Chains A and B, each alone.
Chain A
Amino acid sequence: MSTETATAVAPKKESLFSKKNRRLLTDPLDDSNPITVQVLGICSALAITVQVQQAVIMSLAVLFVMIGGNVIISLMRNIIPDRIRIIVQLVVIASLVIIVDEVLKAYSPDISEKLSVFVGLIITNCIIMGRLEAFALGNKPGPAMLDAVGNAMGYAWILLAVALVREVFGSGAISFPGMGQVKFLPESWFMANGGFYENNNLMILPPMALITVGIIIWIQRSRNQGLIEEN
């Protein structure tokens, strides 16, 4: 499910996309996925997966902040004193998030309303802090950017998978801006029109996000036995 997306991105500039660097892109999709393996950035992954549309916007926002943050911190890595690095990272991330928030407010106020506090919470999204700490502080900007893209993609596909499951079963249709609603079942099947099918409203409520992620972890770990935990 993961490798196809990665190989499509990889072959461009040879020097930057050496075998080692390509692993930076592909690893986070499966073996070191930020959500299911590193357990980072769960908060937003669960809260905004009611609709696919929100998940896409959120993923794009995180992609932007990740790339910006990783590259900027990587460029500054030699001049940041060790003791205050957390504050420096927070300031860089917060400035990037303010940009995202203002752009969202200007161009799609309704989505910005729906995401409410979760745009702001990108600041404390542990994926970003985690990658800055673990990677950007010790690597050149090029690999740092690839690492950012890889981790943001790993985050995005989990987000999209959860959102897809929740929206399809919860609302019976997927709505996109500009495309209207894509319906999967004929209208006459629904209970309201004398049919037999009813949308599962539980899917829209918070607890099902957790259970959906739990099941994704289950599937992923049973396919990739190396990830199984001892306890």
Chain B
Amino acid sequence: MEYLSLFVKGIFVENMIFAYFLGMCSYLAVSKTVKTAVGLGFAVIFVLGITVPINYLLENFVLKEGALTWLSPAYAAVDLSFLSFIMFIAVIASMVQLVEMIVEKFAPALYGALGIFLPLIAVNCSILGGALFMQERQYPSIGEATVFGLGSGVGWLLAIVAIAAIREKIRYSNIPAPLKGLGITFILTGLMGMAFMAFMGIEI
């Protein structure tokens, strides 16, 4: 039940885009058509679902203060958390590379759909943001961290697909010229964010 609650919270209440603005760059750049938006959205879910648990293990068995006690009790005072940024980003970059290679080898069809988006994702703030939120919120188990990662990814997919659908339609509307493209996308995202605020405080 906690898992479901965490999942729903990640999608609606603490939506990566509407509440924290993470991954905005690719959100704005790749939301011109629904098809590419869906591709990038699934790639984000995929990578978040893999990197958040890995970074969780890293955080709890290497970086946190006292995390190294499984090696030897003498390391109880070692605190490597200042290294967390560099470790997280290294894990993300190498995982993205690895996932790209594995997908290319074993699932060429999936690679055709996600391939071009995977390299983009290494520098998508929502991935590093997921890892950093996981670190800040101190999830008690790896299961919860994974569910959080997947939920955030689904929330991101929802946001980008929604805005892409709106942008496809809005092409035929009469928008003031200076507002075309980027400007109206910002304002639309703001309005969608207001709508999403209605989910605030939901508990399951």
Contact = CB atoms under 8 A, between A and B. Distances in A.
By secondary structure, the B interface counts as: helix
B171 interface: yes
Nearest to B175: A231
B166 interface: no
A213 interface: yes
A116 B136 contact: yes
Contact of B186 (A41, A121, A213): A213
A43 B25 contact: yes
Interface stretch (B69-77, B98-106, B191-199): B191-199
B86 A43 contact: no
Interface in A186-231: 205-211, 213-215, 217-222, 225, 227-231
Contacts of B158: none
B59 to A, nearest CB: 13
A6 to B, nearest CB: 23
Contact of A98 (B85, B129, B178, B181): B85
Nearest to B200: A205
Interface in B139-180: 171, 176-180
Contacts of A40: 25
B86 A210 contact: no
Contact of B123 (A101, A117, A129, A215): A129
Nearest to A38: B25
Contacts of A75: none
Contact of A43 (B22, B182, B183): B22
Interface residues of B, number: 49
Contact of B191 (A97, A129, A207, A228): A207
Q: How large is the interface on A (under 10, 10 to 19, 20 to 34, 35 or more residues)?
A: 35 or more
Given A98-B86, A120-B85, A47 B21 contact: yes
B58 interface: no
A206 B193 contact: yes
Contacts of B50: none
Contacts of A219: 178
B171 A231 contact: yes
Contacts of A76: none
A88 B190 CA distance: 36
Contacts of A95: 86
Contact of B187 (A123, A124, A214): A214
A217 B182 contact: yes
Given A90-B89, A116-B136, A207 B194 contact: yes
B180 A230 contact: yes
A42 interface: yes
B132 interface: yes
Given A215-B183, A225-B178, 15 more contacts: A42-B28, A43-B20, A44-B21, A98-B83, A98-B86, A102-B82, A117-B133, A121-B22, A207-B190, A207-B197, A218-B178, A221-B179, A221-B183, A228-B177, A228-B178
Closest 8 CB pairs of A and B: A229-B181, A214-B186, A210-B190, A207-B193, A221-B178, A211-B190, A42-B24, A117-B132
24 contacts: A39-B28, A40-B25, A43-B21, A43-B23, A43-B24, A47-B20, A86-B93, A86-B123, A117-B133, A121-B125, A123-B85, A125-B125, A207-B18, A209-B21, A209-B190, A210-B187, A211-B187, A215-B183, A217-B179, A217-B183, A218-B178, A219-B178, A221-B183, A222-B178
